[in-house]
Chains A and B, each alone.
Chain A
């Protein structure tokens, strides 16, 4: 029998279906009697909600129900919160927040969910959503990370004991680091910003809620990377045992971390389905995705590197501001922690002092996004080392070579509590440099400049960067989704 086992480039068995447009995504599902829900989103970054009047929306053509946070309170729905808190790992206690399915007191970012309107058709629901009357009292807002970190910045959570600080983490040894910086030949400093990005999955978030009253049983069709995790959270929201909820996540058009956990919209379709006794579908437009999806990456680092005369790194100092957005929910701590824990990358740096703060702002929540903290850390360290090379006049590849963990130091424990089991970092760097025809660069640069003289002036350049990264499965998966006893505000 011909083997199609490990190591073979077997062609994807899925592709026949996908390439012919025969995938089955949530939006391809239509249930009998299905109606459509639309969320009403806050147009204010920060505002007190003084009054919500849904009477005109309810009277609009085709409307089946218009729900608010007050209705959610009446129906005793729970709220969303963080699966991981720093205190679970012995770090200083973080500020736990609760995100209701609909807000009735305050809106904390542009796009915060305030009402949910369900109608026979999606256009009817959209028209009716515009008839929901809400009196907002705008409050001072903060969206900038460095501003949010300052004393006297507008507070996103009044009850947060320390300004906008949602969590604090620290690694390394301050005294040893200060001492190493004290006698270093070179000290370089760099502020590095990591831009906020949207996961922008090709398929927007989408959900269908279905309720069987006879069995008090929910079925949720949702685009999810983790259906059991969604079921667990829905069980908390609705106060139901897990065997009263089925979660189906059929074909999913990209996740990148965005669809790793549920959003309030998943609870809204289930809740509305129970209210109207019909299946309810919700599908984000691209703009609604941009407003309400969690974002990734936004961080600011202030770094310092102590280097000796041979380019050997003696110590590293970093302060990191991590964007949490308006809510500390889901697995937000995973990127928050990895953004500092991976700062050592594959470099042999034993002396370091790293401090990090997660900050609330009046922006949509931030969560894991392809890499979840590893790209932020790698970007910081690679920029800092490159900066050091340029400052001291050393070849950027050479400074890396001199500082990468040599094979005889493996297994290698970092000050940020990783233990690297294997890797041939220097060999891979050299192999990549060779692969790229490093030697031919000068000729290509010359050709590029020559071309530039004819049409436009160009400069060519090359850079090396490397990343040592880890499968997060151990660090997050075993703990992230098994906290069955998360307190939810009911």
Chain B
């Protein structure tokens, strides 16, 4: 993760993670705003081009808040430390007397202060007072190796109705309590949970990639044959966020991106088994399509008849 001030005092975040729906341009800008106090709208976010990004391992495995977030924190600390030397030179003070707060370097015990954005401008000024001594530019990179990893966890509850005549399952109430450590942006996190739960319900109720056992042909080769969940089939997902700080990274965050797909399938299937238990059903496999549920009900009834 690189943070680079530009000659006009704006900031560019150059990320080795890759957002493809996760909202990194927002969350990483929030972090930069938190640590450096530069205006949100002066931040540009760059990713996904090996010509611009020195190195990165992309985004997968719920890693970006943990790896990218902590790397950005480290880069912020690097940039603040470097900026402090420049600020000391600009204000003709000792670096040891300077503190960084609210986006400004201040000489302790005086009213002398300079904005980090102005320090950045000075760092690029041709023949300016600091470039000869400290080199051109104000930037820093940070990395983070998440070893040991974070362990997000949570609990799911769902209620559903089974129509015994058609085998149709309607999930009508769904609740999640997730521990994801420190929350960076609750709206984005809830979106991740919501999307993941939907994906998990999709697997539990309809999605199935089927090969014909004899011919080896793919039977589910299009969306005519491969069922995907749709908004009309789904309940509102109520989620509560519990912040039990992670102890293995400085930000205290836990990766949340995959939690919904982990919790939802067993929650839904166990609920279906619960609904059908009175007629003697003890197991059903995913996906619990109407056909499979209907057949399971029929088998259970004929077994008990």
Partner of B159, one of A248, A461, A467: A461
C-alpha gap A229/B200 in the complex (Å): 28
* A366 to B, closest residue via Cβ: B209
* A255 to B, closest residue via Cβ: B20
Residues in B whose Cβ lies below 8 Å from that of A245: 50
Asked if A9 contacts B187 (CB within 8 A), the reply is: yes
Asked if A469 contacts B151 (CB within 8 A), the reply is: yes
Partner of B263, one of A144, A396, A466: A466
Asked if A225 contacts B59 (CB within 8 A), the reply is: yes
Task: Check if B222 is an interface residue, CB within 8 A of chain A.
Answer: yes
C-alpha gap A194/B27 in the complex (Å): 34
Residues in B whose Cβ lies below 8 Å from that of A411: 247
Residues in B whose Cβ lies below 8 Å from that of A370: 196, 199, 257-258, 261
Partner of B165, one of A193, A334, A456: A456
Residues in B whose Cβ lies below 8 Å from that of A198: 207, 209, 220, 226
Closest CB of chain A to B21's CB: distance in Å?
Answer: 6
Closest CB of chain A to B123's CB: distance in Å?
Answer: 21
Task: Check if A13 is an interface residue, CB within 8 A of chain B.
Answer: yes
Contacts A428-B154, A464-B155 given; indicate if A290 touches B244 (C-beta within 8 A): no
Task: Check if B145 is an interface residue, CB within 8 A of chain A.
Answer: yes
Asked if A371 contacts B258 (CB within 8 A), the reply is: yes
Asked if B287 contacts A195 (CB within 8 A), the reply is: yes
Asked if B267 contacts A9 (CB within 8 A), the reply is: no
C-alpha gap A193/B208 in the complex (Å): 12
Segment from A27-35, A69-77, A269-277, A382-390 that makes contact with B: A382-390
Residues in A whose Cβ lies below 8 Å from that of B238: 435-436
Task: Check if B107 is an interface residue, CB within 8 A of chain A.
Answer: no
Partner of B164, one of A8, A12, A457, A472: A457
Contacts A143-B211, A246-B50, A464-B155 given; indicate if A375 touches B265 (C-beta within 8 A): yes
Asked if B63 contacts A471 (CB within 8 A), the reply is: yes
Task: Check if B157 is an interface residue, CB within 8 A of chain A.
Answer: yes
Residues in B whose Cβ lies below 8 Å from that of A423: 151, 153, 179, 244
Asked if A462 contacts B158 (CB within 8 A), the reply is: yes
C-alpha gap A196/B222 in the complex (Å): 15
Asked if B270 contacts A463 (CB within 8 A), the reply is: yes
* A247 to B, closest residue via Cβ: B50
C-alpha gap A141/B185 in the complex (Å): 49
> How many inter-chain residue pairs (CB < 8 Å) link A and B?
427
Task: Check if A209 is an interface residue, CB within 8 A of chain B.
Answer: no
Residues in B whose Cβ lies below 8 Å from that of A11: 26, 187
Residues in A whose Cβ lies below 8 Å from that of B26: 10-14
Closest CB of chain B to A284's CB: distance in Å?
Answer: 12
Asked if B267 contacts A3 (CB within 8 A), the reply is: no
Residues in A whose Cβ lies below 8 Å from that of B30: 4-6, 8, 10
Asked if B16 contacts A228 (CB within 8 A), the reply is: yes
Task: Check if A394 is an interface residue, CB within 8 A of chain B.
Answer: no
Asked if B185 contacts A473 (CB within 8 A), the reply is: no
Partner of A111, one of B210, B218, B286: B218
Task: Check if B233 is an interface residue, CB within 8 A of chain A.
Answer: no
Asked if B162 contacts A248 (CB within 8 A), the reply is: no
Asked if B60 contacts A465 (CB within 8 A), the reply is: no
Segment from A98-106, A311-319, A475-483 that makes contact with B: A475-483
The 8 A CB mask of A139-154 against B (1 = contact, 0 = none) is 0011110010000000
Asked if A260 contacts B274 (CB within 8 A), the reply is: no
Task: Check if B141 is an interface residue, CB within 8 A of chain A.
Answer: no
Residues in B whose Cβ lies below 8 Å from that of A190: 283
Chain B residues packing against A (C-beta within 8 Å):
16, 18-21, 23, 25-27, 29-31, 33-34, 37, 39-40, 45, 48-51, 53, 55-63, 66-67, 102-103, 145-166, 173, 175-179, 181-188, 196, 199-200, 202-203, 207-213, 215-218, 220-223, 226, 228, 238, 240, 242, 244-248, 254-255, 257-259, 261-263, 265-278, 282-283, 285-287
Chain A residues packing against B (C-beta within 8 Å):
1, 3-14, 44-46, 109-111, 141-144, 147, 190-198, 200, 223-229, 231, 242, 245-257, 259-260, 286-287, 290-291, 295, 297-298, 334, 346, 362-364, 368, 370-372, 374-375, 378-379, 382-383, 386-387, 390, 396, 411, 418-425, 428-429, 431-433, 435-436, 438, 441, 444, 448, 456-478, 480-481
Q: 15 A-B pairs, CB-CB below 8 angstroms?
A: A11-B187, A13-B40, A223-B20, A248-B50, A286-B222, A290-B209, A423-B179, A432-B240, A435-B157, A457-B163, A461-B160, A467-B262, A472-B60, A472-B62, A476-B61
13 further A-B contacts with Cβ under 8 Å, apart from A7-B182, A249-B18, A474-B148, are A5-B31, A11-B26, A142-B216, A334-B61, A422-B246, A438-B157, A457-B165, A458-B164, A462-B157, A462-B173, A464-B267, A469-B153, A473-B61
